[in-house]
Amino acid sequence: MGRYTDIFYVEDDTDFAFIVESAVNEVKAELSIQISMNGKDALSLLDQLCAERLQPKLILLDLNLPGISGIDILKKIRAMPFLRYVPVLLFSTSESSKDVKAALESGANAYVFKPSGYTNLVACLQSIHDFWLFQNARPN
């Protein structure tokens, strides 16, 4: 891999992943985003990042993924010492309080509802950037 990434995003909807990538570029063109399309590949890539000592600044997880759910990926991330302090946000269309509670109890730093419309998505990602990548302090 050998490449640093600001945002590691796990999303199985290729169209939405492309839209998020475009929106991230609007927020800040210099931000790098790496997208994994399923949980199995995501865990493999995260293992590679750990092995190469490349820590993303933020991890975004879709909740409903084929094979391995976002919650299961989150639990595995929280068990990885190298990624322990990386902020992980569940990014989902589900507004179920059960899903929100499960995410937070499993170690998510936040649960963010996917906004509708491109303009709202850019605004949402701008807020995420401003807080989680700019203002939020965490150990190295």
pLDDT at 67: 87
DSSP string, 54-123: ---SEEEE-SS-SSS-HHHHHHHHHT-GGGTTS-EEEEES---HHHHHHHHHTT-SEEEEPPSSHHHHHH
pLDDT at 136: 81
Question: What are the extents of the domains in the chain?
Answer: 7-129
Q: pLDDT class for 11, splitting at 50, 70, 90?
A: very high
Report whether pLDDT(83) > 80.
yes
CA angle 57, 7, 127 (to 5 degrees): 85
Query: 3.40.50.150, 3.30.1600.10, 3.20.20.70, 3.40.50.2300: which CATH number matches 7-129?
Result: 3.40.50.2300
Report whether pLDDT(3) > 80.
no
pLDDT at 140: 61
Can you tell me the distance from the alpha carbon of 1 to that of 19, in angstroms, rounded to the nearest whole number? 24
